[in-house]
A and B are shown apart, each in its own frame.
Chain A
Amino acid sequence: MSNFTPELLAPAGSLDKLIIAVLYGANAVYLGGQKYGLRQAAENFTDQELEEGVSFAHANGAKVFVVLNSFFHDKDFDSLNIFLKKLDDYGVDAVIVSDPGVIKYISENSQLEIHLSTQASCLNVEAAKLWKKLGVTRVVLGRETSIKDAALIKKEAGLEVEMFIHGSMCMAYSGHCVISNYTQGRDSNRGGCAHSCRFEYSFDDKDLESKKSYFMSSKDLEGIRLLQDFVDFEIDSLKVEGRMKSHLYAGTISKVYREALDYYDENGDFHSDNMKHWESELRKITHRAYTQASLVEPASDDSIYDEREHEDSLYTSIGTIRDVNKDAGFLLVEVKSFFNTGDTLEVLPFKGEPFEIVASNITSVSGKELTKTKPGTLVKIPYSPFATRWNLLRKRNLQ
């Protein structure tokens, strides 16, 4: 048994998601500020939120990586220095960067540790060595890299390696899709991707049969069954995609992979009946069909998600417990999706098995009886001794 356990790196699309990911077990989170990232439509962190996020994460033993993974045009460097200074001051643990110009600028103007973003599509030992010369200490490898190749890159280039283990994927080599630039006038490499790969395309060439297909759409990555390989090959960090995804996603993913890695720490393997349980938990969050993509061998056509864009989910995210009051006997719930009086809800604790509670009585904050809830409101439901603040609630969908 190796003593090595990889870092679990979760997405934090907002400060709430950061808190949730850390409380559910992520060792590190990555997030974006208001500029320089690839999620222009996302909420992203203001400077103050970033500072708060770093202090929360550090107080709970987790690291914070900030993405600056947009590919810059020359004018985009304006005010980068000010932002870097803030990141330094807040104690950010590393920045994730794609562009060699930005890497050069950061190494010349700050002490920040630099991780190479997957957007740079680093796929081989020679490329990794080049990025190392530029000052990078970790590479987030291109999604086309196998775990075996990642280990070789780590050994021969002498760098930390990070790989995606879960989440949505680009079908293109990262950084090498500019469909949105030409069809929407939005630079995908500066955060404007319009997800044209998820559209249906028709083919009606004269020599070939007419076809319709979502041929560029990729299934979602799921690497839980490969955890033993990630450990054996000493992959330093396992990254989960999904800054734009829900609180329930951030919590479930962090919890499931944390439990699996903790099981390994205690038992030295993943040969557990729990594997089925972990997989079934991952099926409870919104996802497209899963694939292991290129983690073991080059991805083949079975990684094409040839369906209209929709995400399957066995459970609905109900909301977050925002306050627990034992004396007054209620849980205060921030409602994301409606539920009715009498519904059975599941609480996802930070550790251990999910458990059921019944919303036998729902009231508004001022105490009015309700028969059903509305998304975007706060309601009170009966107290449960095992539920705590920031626990997530979900409800099984009727099949």
Chain B
Amino acid sequence: MNEVSFHTFRADAALAIANPHLQSAVDGATLKFRRDRLRALADLPDVEAMRDHFKAMRAATLANLSEHLEQFERQALAAGAHVHWARDAAEATQIVIGIARQHGARLAVKAKSMTSEEIHLNAALDEAGITPVETDLGEWIVQLAAESPAHIVVPALHKTRQQVAELFTREVGRPLSADDIPALTNEARRALRKKFLAAEIGISGANIGVAETGSIVLVTNEGNGRMVSSVPPVHVAVMGVEKVCPTWDDAAVWLELLARSSTGQPLSVYTTAITGPARDGDADGPRELHIVLYDGGRSGMLGTGYEEVLQCIRCGACLNHCPVYQEIAGQTYGHAYSGPIGAVLVPLLHGLEQYEALPHASSLCGACLEVCPARIDLPRMLLDLRAEEVARGVIAPPEQALEKSAAWLLGHRRLFGLLTDVGRVFQRPLLSKDGLRVPRRLNPAGKRRLPSLAPRSFHALWDELAAEEEAVAGAAPVKRAVRAPSRGRIAAVIGASVVPLVVLWHLLRRRGGKR
């Protein structure tokens, strides 16, 4: 049941870190996104106030989400759309399959959709005998490679041109060169164009639902969103219930921030508002539009300390700025949602027990909060999830014992002083110029050199430091500190302390290695 344990996470992370191509791809892409985001946001007057407004709008919408959804539904129905509600992934996939079957669909073209990844729609369609074809170039590459996305915005971030050329060669049945990326892109254009024209059904997600008019908004650069919603006779959009906003004024602010935060573009190339299927007299467009409103655990987050996570617009800024993500890329997270948002969202959607390592996949540096267009306090939620892990016993008993005894010890200053003095004796054989030399296999810090305890603690130095002031300034004497413990007292505690220390050390090691 353990999908992402500390052990698997660490092992996958080590592989990612050791992969030089992946490292340069992630570094290059995320750096470009960071720079472009700054430039794009600088173009907006009062952008910080606009972000505050956006957050307030998202929060206010969630405060009455059911009303906004009902209005959305009413308006979408009035525009001629079919609206479906799905409690979980099984229900959502069954609805989509049912619509496809009703139209005898064998081939489904799909626009890039994280919700579709979340509900594993491709696997369900495949099983039902309907062939799904991803048409976002990156998603298609990932689909051909039978992998999961490495980034929520640029899924094939990790693939080299050589790997892409190989995958395409297999797909088109002709040898393709890796040298010319525009030519490879053109091959994909040609191959996917055929699919668009042949598919009986188009499937997408929805970036925004606008309650005022019952519209869904699709945003893409390549045009896959336009294609799947314009060319096939039936369009199905699966939208998370949290993606709704009340008015077009709200949607406009959302759009002003989305592409800028995401790829650093002022607006994506195509922003499409879809309000119902093709109308009578329309020149073209789908005869049917189905909107699947998907809950999948979101309603359970409303009103809890994690509600804020529902304000997420999946822009990926938190990934691009996360120093942890930059080292390990998306697949290490074991889920289509990666980076800081994934570290919070995935355990909430699928359980802390299954994804115990994710809340710890962060140094709590706060970069994600700083850049999130909705100012979602992901670090705060990571802390809350960690506290839940402790409370629910997800954190293993040995570590619980270790941390609790360490805290207890720090509550007893004299004992703590004694134990550290014992440590000073024991570390002697390991001392080197910059830290302790511990054999790699035994070093819980891995490649990093462990710090050594100073020859004397600050507590031990204080008397001299206090005297310094008396000598220099003739100032009033300061409180006297406790004296460093004598050798005899040190010897007395050695026996009592070494044994539990060694035991705890071993338990900690096993924890990293075994799970």
Q: Do A and B come from the same complex?
A: no
A-to-B contact residues, CB < 8 Å: none
